[in-house]
Amino acid sequence: MTANGFIQIALFCAVVLALARPLGGYMTRVFSGERTLLSPVLGPVEGGLYKLAGVDPAREQHWLSYVLGMLLFNVAGIALLYALLRFQDVLPLNPQGMAAVPPELAFNTAVSFVTNTNWQNYGGEGTMSYLTQMLGLTHQNFLSAATGIALALAMIRGFSRQSARTVGNFWVDLTRTTLYVLLPICILYTLFLVWQGMPQTLGATVDATTLEGARQSIALGPVASQVAIKMLGTNGGGFFNANAAHPFENPTALSNFVQMVSIFALGAALTNVFGRMVGDERQGWAILAAMGLLFLAGVAVAYWAEASGTPALNALGLTGGNMEGKEVRFGIVLSALFATITTAASCGAVNAMHDSFTALGGMIPLINMELGEIVVGGVGAGLYGMLLFVVLAVFVAGLMVGRTPEYVGKKIEAKEVKMAMLAILVLPLVMLGFTALATVLPNAVASIANPGPHGFSEILYAYTSAAANNGSAFGGLTGNTPFYNVTLGIAMFLGRFFMIVPALALAGALAQKKKVPASAGTFPTDGGLFVGLLVGVILIVGGLTFFPALSLGPIVEHLAAIAGQTFGAGG
């Protein structure tokens, strides 16, 4: 661990904090239907889209209608993307002549990109045509990110409105998010990435002759446009198999830094949107502070673990940290920082192999996802996930100190707590349930590369990543099998949509309540005490739920490594 490493972490945090308020202010104006700098250009486009779709932007929806519209839209997206994958061999913009994607892999990929997971059981440059990458995958990167933000807006309106039966209009929220937020930023972002050296072309592969005289085909394609939205929308699906470790997806140190910032930018700004819409920005800063504390703790442990190296190599005098599986361009600190960021958000892009991290270094990405990826989290999903824990923390505070369970003027009663707990429990049920199934089925166990606790971690990471809609892979697990393609696809679907339904039911219940003025019995929720309580509740719930599974995986692997035992492939 070096001073330079801490400076890079501090610089990242400073830039994210500096962006949160201006981005939050802009998005609040967009979502409130106010005029912005882009309105003269995009306003007519927005109105034309509503007319084309037959949507009345002034007509809002009950929470149930909002959820049904969202579900139908996303199920249709899965069907259309599945069809595109299955027929890509006969469609245009396929200069490499890519074959049709097999049924199970097509199902897995379609669910993956629609749910904002972007789990990839394939190598993009060897599987997907340009049409699939652009019309299928990049298109869904925009829509899945916009869906997450729309759902967060519905949740915010539940807290900000009173005596209301509606939580907004899904089609309006989806359109405004895509048109005014994601698209303009991504156009500028794409140009920046091209300037940094990232390809953006429809040309076929380029043949080159190496120094040894061998012939090599270098894959190109419309890379920059996909990378821009994969990072900004916390999607994470790489154009290339090596993802952000590939020089064409992450060409420079500057592109690496900007990509890390863009993963957190919108998620952090949405906390400010929340504060503005409920009429008290301090509430948003308190939520961001809780997220920040969890993030800093995670990156500190990951950086320390990777900088400390492994006991086996340290015993041989090979000190200097664990560089296995890392890009030498980025080193230990930027690999540990990237891994923590990408799993704190539901991004899943990687610039290092998480399977090659130390046991404790690899445990941090696992914990980030197991907490529901609320540490900033995916765009929209992180905020509404954190608000579920806020409801729980307020209720716990009321039980402990006899204060009235209230949050931003809304009384938290039995119905709200039940809905919050139902949504929170969906993820561990899916993560641990499928992990338990995969560890007892011989054909599933046969896919792991390492025996013992590390192999268990590979399975646990896969289903945790899928259910949390992260999409990063631990590595070492052969996931492109019928069993894993189908079960991971189901886990992604359940993790995304089975959590949303009770969360929006909670929003609908809160929107109907009247706001009550603060009294002497109201627990303050904008200060350090509440931030500490919120972090404590998150860690207690996460610890009670996942500590046994972590003990069977990374914790016991760490203890075994101290004793000199390793778990290599086949050994």
Please give the full DSSP string across 437-477, using - where no structure is assigned: HHTT-HHHHTTBSS-HHHHHHHHHHHHHHHHTT-----SSB
Assigned token pair, 325: 């599986």
Task: Decide if pLDDT at 382 tops 50.
Answer: yes
Which of 486, 483, 487 has its CA nearest to residue 443? Answer: 483
Cα atoms in the Cβ-side hemisphere of radius 13 Å centred on 226: 33
The answer to whether residues 9 and 303 touch, using CB atoms and an 8 Å cutoff, is yes
Q: What are the angstrom distances between the C-alpha of 223 and each of 72, 111, 181?
A: 30, 22, 21
281-308 vs 528-550: helix axis angle to the nearest 10? 40
- What is the 8-class DSSP label of residue 115? T
Other CB atoms within 10 Å distance of the CB of residue 334: 23
Q: Residue 406: which H helix or E strand, with range?
A: strand 406-407
Assigned token pair, 463: 């289903």
Whole-structure pTM over 0.85, yes or no?
A: yes
Phi and psi, residue 276, nearest 5°:
-65, -40
pLDDT greater at residue 29 or residue 515: 29
Beta bridge partners of 209: 215
Which of 565, 555, 567, 120 has its CA nearest to residue 361? Answer: 555
**Mean pLDDT for the stretch of residues 293-308:** 92
Residues 6+ apart with CB under 8 A from 321: 306, 307, 308, 309, 332
**Mean pLDDT for the stretch of residues 341-366:** 89
Kindly indicate the confidence band of residue 266, based on its pLDDT and cuts at 50, 70 and 90: very high
253-277 vs 223-232: helix axis angle to the nearest 10? 40
Cα atoms in the Cβ-side hemisphere of radius 13 Å centred on 155: 32
Q: Mean pLDDT across the chain, nearest whole number? A: 90
The answer to whether residues 527 and 101 touch, using CB atoms and an 8 Å cutoff, is no
pLDDT at residue 571, as a whole number? 39
In our burial notation (b when 16+ CB lie closer than 10 A, e otherwise), range 536-549 reads ebbeebbeebbeeb
**Mean pLDDT for the stretch of residues 328-340:** 90
Least confident of 60-69, 315-324, 464-473: 315-324
Residue 216, helix vs strand vs coil = strand
Identify the top-confidence range among 198-212, 276-290, 387-401: 276-290
